[in-house]
Structure formats: structure tokens, C-alpha cells
Structure 1
Amino acid sequence: MEQAGPAMLSRRDVLGLMAAATALAACPAPAAGVACGTPWRDWHGFVQRHVQDDGRVVDHTHPDLRSTSESQSYALFFALADNNPVLFDRILAWTRRHLCGGRPDLNLPAWLWGRAGDGQWRVLDANTASDGELWIAYALLEAGRLWNRPGLAQAGRQILGLMRSAEVVELPKFGPMLLPGNRGFVQRDRWILNPSYLPLFALRRFAAVEPRGPWARLAERSVAMLRAASPTGFAPDWTAWNGEAFVADPSRGAVGSYDAIRCYLWAGMTDAGEPLRPRLLDALPGPARLLRAQGGFAEKIQTRSGSGTGAAPAGFSAALLPYLSALGQPAMAAAQATRIPAPGPAADALGYYDRVLVLFGRGWMDRRFRFAADGRLLPAWSSTCSAKT
């Protein structure tokens, strides 16, 4: 059959085809199984179980029924990804009042709030946790941009300023680094660090917002730190800089578990256009190697030997989905997906942290959200569906 050549098309036809191509490029068609435009059952189930009407996020696995800056920050992010500004504002208001003493412009949030031994509800530990602050700042910056609310973006920049003053340090012979909190992590001869507190896409977004800040250099140094601290390809929960090299944290040992699992999650969710992504993934071959060898992951990894013990919980499988996708391992990802309960009673029975990992891992796989190369959040509701990476 003879095909029509370009000369057979009118100028109007050509312009129409160009417009259609542009629209398709901006909003790629969703892949099979993508849940664009459908209710986010994992998130709505989490809200029903863990988010109070006043915006407090409760971790029921601890006797003190705690809330943390981390739990509040993740809930802010997911409320934004679900396009729910009313819930976002409630979570933010509770965080500011109870964790920041009502002055978020002056105070970074305390990391731990809950029921004290005397039965009173209050801050249980006033130290800060930079992972929670990082995600709160990121959620505020992106909510301000996506919802056209400049006050939220300004609040995000205020948090970045407080973090720069209290938690960003210059490691001798290494460069800038983000401490896990503002107290207790600088010792006489070493600096204690947590690699999972440094998602690359968030640092990239901060660098765009504050080009004169430390964030671009910190992004590069965070990947260098993770590579140096993961000699067998497994990230540790904690590491220490002794002025010459990264060594095992003397109090916690060379173990990768509930913190480190996020390193693989963040790496997998990083956009393919991020220039540091190849180095980041190259630093973390351990999980894929372990899955290839024995078919399952471990709850705890001895990061110096690469040996694992204990059965990994379902949340770990969810966290590995973006990582395995980024490595081009669909069969491994499919096997891990079978370990994650579908939304419903079995998923509701998971604990707080497992459910958070499911929200990140399965939410990313379902294209509820993605991250651009410059760190911008790409929620599904802002286009037909979040862009492919």
C-alpha cells in the first residue's frame, strides 16, 4: 500500500501533528498496570490508620505511640503527591506547633514526640533529625511551586537556612556533609553520619533553589561518601569519618538494615538524567548480587563481609522495586513485588515503617510520582501521569 508523503499533508495537518507530538512528549502514555487517576489505596489506608484528624502521624509499634519529624515529613510528601492541600496543612500545622515550639522560622523540629513515662504527651527528645527536616523542606518547596503558594516555598527556604547553620559541616580532607542532627554526632576524633539521610534528588532541588548554598557540592560528596562507606556494595546504616577515611561507626558496627534500605530506594528513584546516578548505582551492587545468589534479601547485612541474616520484611521488598527497575532487572523486581501485600487488610497489618516503604516503592512504580533530573517532584496529578524515567 502506498504511503502518503509529507507533500500530501496540508500545513494545517502538519501543525496538528506537531501539536499532538508535543503533547505526547510532555505527557507519556502510562505503562501497563499504572494507576493514573485512580484512588491511591496504599496512602488512604495509611492515613486511616496512622494520621490523626489534627495532623499527627502515629507510629503504633512503640509503647510511647510516637510521632517523629520523619513521620511528619513523609506524610507531608505523600499528601502533596496525592494533591490533598487540606491534609497537608493539618500535618504541617501539627508539626510546627508540637515539634517546632510554634516557631518554625527559628527552630528546627524536635525529632521525637510522644507519651512520656508520667503519662504526659510532649517532646521526648529535643535533638533534631536532618532526614525529617530535609523531607519537610522538600515538601514545602514543591508544594509552594505546584500549588502556587509562595509562603510554603519561603518556609522551605527557612528550613534550609536553619539546616545550613546547625547541621552542615566541613569534614576535613573531604568536604561538606550533612550531620544527622545538631547534637551528638561530632566527637573528638570522628563525625558520625547516616548515608540514608541524603536523597540525591532532594539535594539537587535544593541546589536549584539556593545556587549559592552547599547543596550541589553536598550532592556530589554524598555519593562519594556512600561509595567509600560501602566496600562490598551494601550501604551501612551508619558510618564515621575519622579525618582520613570512612570507617564503621564504633557504637553500631558495620551493619546495613532499616536505615540503609532507603539508600537503594533513593538511588532507584533518581532520574536517569541525573549525572551522578551512574556512580550512585555503581556503588550499590550488593542487593542485586544477593538476590541473584539466593533469591531473597536479608534483614541485616554485615557490610564489610556482605553476609546477611534474617528475613527481610515486606517493606524492604517495596524499597528494592525502584532500585531493581533502575538496574534493568524486571524479573527480580517482579519476584520482590509478590512479597508486598496488596492494599487491604494484609497491608493494613504492616507497621508504620513498612507501610512508608511501600508508599515510596510501589507508589513510584505505579507512577504516582517521579523526580525530574533537577529534583522537581512530578506528581501524577500534574499531568496525565508522571513522566517516565
Structure 2
Amino acid sequence: MSALLAAAAVLCSQPWPQLDRYVSTFVSQDGRVIERSAGDRTTSEGQAYALFFALAGGQRDLFARLLAWTERNLARGDLGTTLPAWNWGKRRDGSWGVVDVNSASDADLWIAYALLEAGRLWGEERYTALARRVLANVAAREVVSIRGLGPMLLPGPKGFATRGGFRLNPSYEPPQLLRRFAAEDPRGPWGAILESTIRMLRETAPRGAVADWVFFSPSRGFVSDPVKGRVGSYDAIRTYLWLGMLPESDGALRSLAPALLRAFAESGVVPERIDVESLRASGRAPVGFAAALLPLARAQRDGRTSDALAAAVAKAPADTYYDHNLVLFGHGFVEGRFRFAADGRLIPAWESPCAR
């Protein structure tokens, strides 16, 4: 057993220093996650991830502050009726507020998931009720039925449906979340979206590398995205992360995307970009990529690669907003801070101390 895996068994109920650093660096007292490398903007993604980490870390007060800021500033005061604007920051006139009212469906799913699980784990019915309303709004505004594919989540309500087909982002659809939603709302589209998502991964990553964006044409099926092409990089790294955090019962699904792990094992470097067809890799990825691959390496019981990735994370601490998020997800998962049940339920370490 690697040193990292051995440590997981004794970390379950201890403080989470990486989360504490994240909060002190990026989260304001009133609950705004500040992306300092991007003009101090705030995104719905940042708020959504922070809500999840607050729940996984058992920090109820932090969760409440994050939720209050999100609802007040991104959702016109009511998340139950308004999907959050994805971008809040300094506007051209110098004022601060919503810059782009379009919502981002991945953030919407993570917000709904955090609310749903907070309601269940903390016994807060108001969170459960709000989660259900957010999900209903997502289903109404961001889910479409695509001929030849079925129900699918668009990245947002506007800008992703074209005359020839639909732009899709595989990293926007974590299977864990879709399973949890399907259990909570069996009449909703979530189970069918999961089936479409699995098909998308299988058909667009035949060589084990996931693209940032893909395109589905009802007449041609899945093809390269006309805007971003066939590159896998800063979006796709999250897909490897979600797959790595699936339970053991999902062995076939977890094995769909081994390309980045192979590239790291061969070169000792996590590539920043990879062509999903030729597998030509380029660039040196930031530390967050190594952290995001940790769960997948562990799932494949590759102790040598796991230890090498963990060493890379330890040697170059995260300093950007996105890297911090990837480290909290990937490193936090292999440390045993949280895991996901087969039906998508969150199992935080604080719920059953040292159960791993």
C-alpha cells in the first residue's frame, strides 16, 4: 500500500488544512469566492465547488455564507426561481455586479448536489427543498432532447445549440451527481442524461483521451468541436477526476480514459494538452492536473504512479484558484476526506469517522 493510501485511514476526522488555506486565500468574509488571477471576478463554478468543499469538510457556517452570497448576488435573491449568473465582477462602467447573466450548467448541478446532500446530511429540509427547485429549473432551461442521442445537458441555456447540432462539454456531467439526481427525482431526465453522457465518453474518447468540448450532429453523430477542436486540457482534466472518484463497482467506466496517466507514466510529466485522436501531448500542466489524476491512479491500483503524482503535488503547492479546486477534489478524495456511494450519495469522513 502506498504511503498516501495508508495515510487516508487515519485522516478521516482531522482538520483539512488545504481547505482552510483555500478559504483564507480565496473566500471573503461574506462568502464570495474571489478568482484573484482573473480580475477578482467570481463565478458560479467557484461558489458551487466551495459549497461542496464546505459540506465535505463539515463547515456549516461557511456553507451558509457561501449560499447566501450566491443567492443574493448571482440569482437575484432566489435560487429557487433563477439559475445563477456564471460571471460576476467589475463591469465596464467600474461598478461591480453580474457581467454575464447566462448560467453554467456544471455549476448549477454542483450547487443542486451540495444543497441536496446538505439537506440529507445535516437534516436541513430547506436545503433539500431548494435543491429540488434548482434541479427543476435546470431540467426546464438547460436540458434538451436531441434527436439521435436523447436527453442531454447543455453547458448553458444560450449559445450551445446551433443549426447543425449541439456543443457539449463532457466535464459538465459528473456521473456521481447524475446518479444522485436520478434517485431523488426518478421521473426527471437524469438517468437518461447519464446514459447519453456515458455514450458520449465512449464514442468521443476511443483512445482513452477526453476532449474539452465535443459536437453532436443528429445526422453525423459525435464529431470534433468546430470551435475548440480535438484538444483535451483544462476542461477535460475534470472528466478524468470525476471518473477516478467513481466507486469500485464502476470499473468499466473508470477505465475509459487512461491516456493522461499513460503519458505521465512514460514521461514523468502531466501534459497540459493532448490531441484526443493522435494522442500527441504537449506542454507541462500545472499542479492541479496531477492532483486531479490521483483518484484515477488509485482506482487502477497503480501505487508507483499514485506516489509520483502525490510527490508532484507536494513539491509544487497550488497557487491559483483552479489548481486549488483540483487539489481539494483529487487530493482530498485520496486522503479520505469524502467519497461517493454507488447511488451518488456523498459520504464525508465526518459522517462516519475512520470508516475507510
Q: Does TM, normalized by the shorter one, top 0.5?
A: yes
User: Structure 2: how far apart are the matches of 1:317 and 1:252?
Assistant: 23
1:32 is the counterpart of 2:6 = yes
Q: Specify which of 271, 296, 299 is matched with residue 326 of structure 1.
A: 299
Bigger Rg, structure 1 or 2: 1
Question: Equivalences for 1:288-303 in 2 at 5 Å?
Answer: 288-303=261-276
CA contact (8 A) 1:368 1:385 kept: no
Deviation at 1:76, TM superposition (A): 0.3
Q: Specify which of 121, 125, 129 is matched with residue 146 of structure 1.
A: 121
Deviations 1:27-74 (A, max 9, x none): xxx9621222221000000000000000000011112x1111100000
CA contact (8 A) 2:246 2:254 kept: no
AA of the residue aligned to 1:95? T
Q: Specify which of 192, 209, 224 is matched with residue 234 of structure 1.
A: 209
Q: Which residue of 2 aligns with 1:159?
A: 134
Q: Which residue of 2 aligns with 1:368?
A: 337
Name the SS for the 1:264 alignment partner.
Answer: helix
Deviation at 1:248, TM superposition (A): 1.1
Q: Specify which of 317, 328, 336 is matched with residue 359 of structure 1.
A: 328
Q: Which residue of 2 aligns with 1:171?
A: 146
Deviation at 1:249, TM superposition (A): 1.0
Name the SS for the 1:170 alignment partner.
Answer: strand
Deviation at 1:242, TM superposition (A): 1.0
AA of the residue aligned to 2:323? D
User: Structure 1: how far apart are the matches of 2:251 and 2:150?
Assistant: 21
Q: Which residue of 2 aligns with 1:53?
A: 29
CA contact (8 A) 2:244 2:296 kept: yes
Identity across the alignment (%): 47
Deviation at 1:302, TM superposition (A): 1.2
Deviation at 1:175, TM superposition (A): 1.1
CA contact (8 A) 1:379 1:385 kept: no
1:314 is the counterpart of 2:287 = yes
User: Structure 1: how far apart are the matches of 2:236 and 2:280?
Assistant: 15
Deviation at 1:81, TM superposition (A): 0.8
Q: Which residue of 2 aligns with 1:25?
A: none
Deviation at 1:386, TM superposition (A): 5.0
1:251 is the counterpart of 2:235 = no
Deviations 1:130-167 (A, max 9, x none): 00000000000000000000110110011110010001
> TM-score, structure 2 length as denominator?
0.96
Name the SS for the 2:88 alignment partner.
Answer: strand
Q: Which residue of 1 aligns with 2:349?
A: 380
Name the SS for the 2:207 alignment partner.
Answer: coil
Change (3 A) 1:62 1:386: farther
Question: Equivalences for 1:36-185 in 2 at 5 Å?
Answer: 36-63=12-39, 65-185=40-160
Question: Equivalences for 1:267-282 in 2 at 5 Å?
Answer: 267-273=243-249, 277-282=250-255
User: Structure 2: how far apart are the matches of 1:235 and 1:171?
Assistant: 21
> TM-score, structure 1 length as denominator?
0.88
Deviation at 1:297, TM superposition (A): 1.7
AA of the residue aligned to 1:32? A
Deviation at 1:290, TM superposition (A): 1.6
Q: Which residue of 2 aligns with 1:8?
A: none
Deviation at 1:368, TM superposition (A): 0.4
User: Structure 1: how far apart are the matches of 2:237 and 2:48?
Assistant: 18
1:260 is the counterpart of 2:227 = no
CA contact (8 A) 1:319 1:357 kept: yes
Name the SS for the 2:313 alignment partner.
Answer: coil
List 4+ stretches of structure 1 deviating above 3 A: none
The number of equivalent residue pairs is 350
User: Structure 2: how far apart are the matches of 1:384 and 1:173?
Assistant: 46
User: Structure 2: how far apart are the matches of 1:291 and 1:31?
Assistant: 20
CA contact (8 A) 1:317 1:337 kept: yes
Deviation at 1:117, TM superposition (A): 2.4
AA of the residue aligned to 2:27? V
User: Structure 1: how far apart are the matches of 2:68 and 2:89?
Assistant: 17
User: Structure 2: how far apart are the matches of 1:327 and 1:224?
Assistant: 22
Q: Structure 1: which 5+ residue stretches go unaligned?
A: 1-29
